[in-house]
Amino acid sequence: MSLRDRLITRIHSDGPISVADYMSDCLLHPDYGYYATRDPFGTGGDFITAPEISQMFGEMIGLALAQVWLDQGQPNRFALVELGPGRGTLMADILRAVRGVLGFLDAAEIWLVEASPVLQQAQAKKLAGHTPAWVDQTADLPDLPLLLVANEFFDALPIRQFVRDGDGWRERRIGLAEDGLTFGLAQRQAQLALAHRLEDTRDGDIVEHCLAAAPVLRDIGTRIAKNGGAALILDYGDWRSLGDTFQALRKHAPADPLDAPGTADLTAHVDFEALAKAAACAHTRLTPQGVFLERLGITERAQALAAHAGDVAQDRIVTEHRRLTHPEEMGNLFKVLGLYPENGTPPPGLTA
Ligand code: SAH
C-alpha cells in the first residue's frame, strides 16, 4: 500500500484532514515519510541547503556562536545544539571552524534534535570523532547554557492554512475527489490564535499557522533566559506570513504537493513574528541572510579560500559566495532571527 492509498482510506473513514496532518504524514510517517526514509539533499536529490552549498556558511555560524560563548564569560559546560541537522554538514563545519577557539570544544556537549533515523545515521557518520547525542525534542536537552542553530528546520514543521471569511476563518483541508486528493474548505470558525490577523487581512486572504513551532521557541527562550546562550534561526519566510506558501520540491523543481505523497519535500515559509513572540527572551531584528553573512566576514573568508585555490576552485568559491549572499539568490529570501538573554548583547551579525 502506498502513502496515498493510506491517506485515501483515512479520509474515507474520518473525513478531510488539515494541511498539517497531511504534511506530518508525508514528511515523517515512519514507513513512508519523506525524511524518515531517505537522504534528500544535494545535486542528485530534491533540494540543496546553504550548508550543502558551501563550508563557508557553517564556518560563519560557528565563529558567531564561539563569539557568543566568549562574550558570555566562557561557561565551562554548555549545550551546542542543532535542530534538524540534515546530513550533519553544518555541525561538522561549525566544529572545524571553532577548533582555534581555546576551550570551546572542551566545554561543548553536542546535541542533535532529529526525527529521521536515516538522517541520524548520516549525522553520526559525518560527526565521527565527536560524540553527539540525539533527542526527539528540545525539552529533553540538559539544563545548561544553550548555543543553538536551526537552518531550514522550521519550514519543515506542519502548518495549518486558513482562508479569511468575514470575521472568521475557513480551514483549508485535504479531501477526496473522484481521481484522488484535493483541497477543500471547512466551515467558517473563529480562530483565537489568528485574532491579530483580522487587522491586516481581507476576505479571501490565506494565513498559515504552525502549531508545533511555538512550544519549541518557548522552550529555547526559557533556557536562554535562565542559563544564558543564544539561538540562530535561519529559514525562508518573513516577519508575518501572508498567502499560500505551502510547496513541494522534487528534483529541484516545484511539484504538486498532493501528487505522490511522501516522495517530495514539503515546506511552508516561516512566520518569524510567531517564533519571536513565543520566545521568552530577547530577539534580534529579522535580518536577511546575505547581510548577516557579510557582517560576519564571509567575503574575507571567500577571498582567503580563493587565494589558495586553482582556477576552477576559485570560480566555484565565487559562485558559492554569490548563492549564499546575493539578494537575487538566497541572500534576501532567507532570513536570520537571533535569540539572546534580556539585557545581553545580540549575537554577532545581528542587531537588537
Ligand atoms: N539543517 C539541514 C537540513 C534541513 S531539512 C540543512 O540545512 O541542510 C530539515 C531537517 O529537519 C531534516 O534533518 C529533517 O529530518 C528534520 N526534521 C523535520 N521535522 C522534524 C521534527 N519534527 N523533529 C526533528 N527533526 C525534524
C-alpha torsion angle, residues 84, 85, 86, 92 (rounded to 10):
180
pLDDT the model gives residue 42: 80
Q: Is 22 in the pocket of ligand 1 (CB under 6 A)?
A: no
Helical ranges in the chain per DSSP H = 3-14, 19-28, 34-37, 50-53, 55-71, 89-97, 104-107, 117-126, 213-227, 272-278, 289-296, 298-307, 311-325, 330-333
Long-range contacts of 67-70 (CB under 8 A, 24+ apart): 67/347, 67/348, 68/147, 68/229, 68/230, 68/340, 68/347, 68/348, 69/101, 69/104, 69/107, 69/147, 70/101
Q: Are residues 18 and 70 in the same domain?
A: no
Q: Are residues 106 and 220 in the same domain?
A: yes
Does residue 84 sit within a domain? yes
Q: Are residues 140 and 283 in the same domain?
A: yes
Q: Are residues 128 and 187 in the same domain?
A: no
Does residue 41 sit within a domain? yes
Q: Are residues 166 and 120 in the same domain?
A: no
Q: Is 51 in the pocket of ligand 1 (CB under 6 A)?
A: yes
- The maximal CA–CA distance of the chain, rounded, in angstroms, is 64
Q: Is 220 in the pocket of ligand 1 (CB under 6 A)?
A: no
C-alpha torsion angle, residues 91, 94, 96, 98 (rounded to 10):
-140
Does residue 150 sit within a domain? yes
C-alpha torsion angle, residues 255, 261, 264, 268 (rounded to 10):
80
- The protein residue with its alpha carbon nearest to ligand 1, atom 18, reads 156
Q: Are 233 and 336 in contact (CB under 8 A)?
A: yes
pTM comes to 0.97
pLDDT tens digits, 258-308: 999 999 999 999 999 999 999 989 999 999 999 999 999 999 999 999 999
Question: Beta-strand (E) ranges in 66-193?
Answer: 78-83, 108-113, 133-135, 146-151, 160-165, 168-177, 180-189
Q: Are residues 112 and 250 in the same domain?
A: yes
The list of the chain residues with pLDDT below 50 reads none
Q: Are 34 and 40 in contact (CB under 8 A)?
A: yes
Collapsing DSSP states into helix, strand and coil, what is residue 128?
strand
Q: Is 113 in the pocket of ligand 1 (CB under 6 A)?
A: yes
Q: Are residues 49 and 178 in the same domain?
A: no
Q: Are residues 202 and 221 in the same domain?
A: no
- CATH number, residue 327: 3.40.50.150
Does residue 167 sit within a domain? yes
Does residue 288 sit within a domain? yes
pLDDT the model gives residue 241: 86
Total domains in the fold of the chain: 2
Q: Are residues 154 and 173 in the same domain?
A: no
Which of 23, 35, 148 should be mutated for ligand 1, with most atoms under 8 A from CB?
35
Q: Are residues 87 and 173 in the same domain?
A: no
Q: Which of 150, 182, 209 is the last residue of a domain?
A: 209
Query: Are β-strands 253-255 and 282-283 bridged in parallel, bridged antiparallel, or unpaired?
Result: unpaired
Residue in this structure with the C-alpha cell 535561519, named with its chain if needed: 234
Does residue 314 sit within a domain? no
* 170, three cell numbers: 475557513
Q: Which of 171, 186, 209 is the last residue of a domain?
A: 209
| The total number of residues written for the chain in this structure | 352
Q: Which of 189, 209, 229 is the last residue of a domain?
A: 209
CB atoms within 10 A of CB 224: 25
**Domain span including residue 335:** 34-158+211-293+322-340
pLDDT the model gives residue 43: 79
Amino acid 105 reads: L
Q: Is 20 in the pocket of ligand 1 (CB under 6 A)?
A: no
Does residue 233 sit within a domain? yes
Does residue 350 sit within a domain? no
Residue 310 alpha carbon to ligand 1 centre in Å: 34
- The protein residue with its alpha carbon nearest to ligand 1, atom 10, reads 84
Q: Is 116 in the pocket of ligand 1 (CB under 6 A)?
A: yes
Q: Are residues 135 and 74 in the same domain?
A: yes
Residue 87 alpha carbon to ligand 1 centre in Å: 9
pLDDT the model gives residue 179: 86
Query: Are β-strands 282-283 and 270-271 bridged in parallel, bridged antiparallel, or unpaired?
Result: unpaired
Q: Are residues 166 and 282 in the same domain?
A: no
The residues, any chain, with a CB within 8 Å of residue 175's CB and separated by 6 or more, are 11, 15, 16, 17, 181, 182, 183, 184
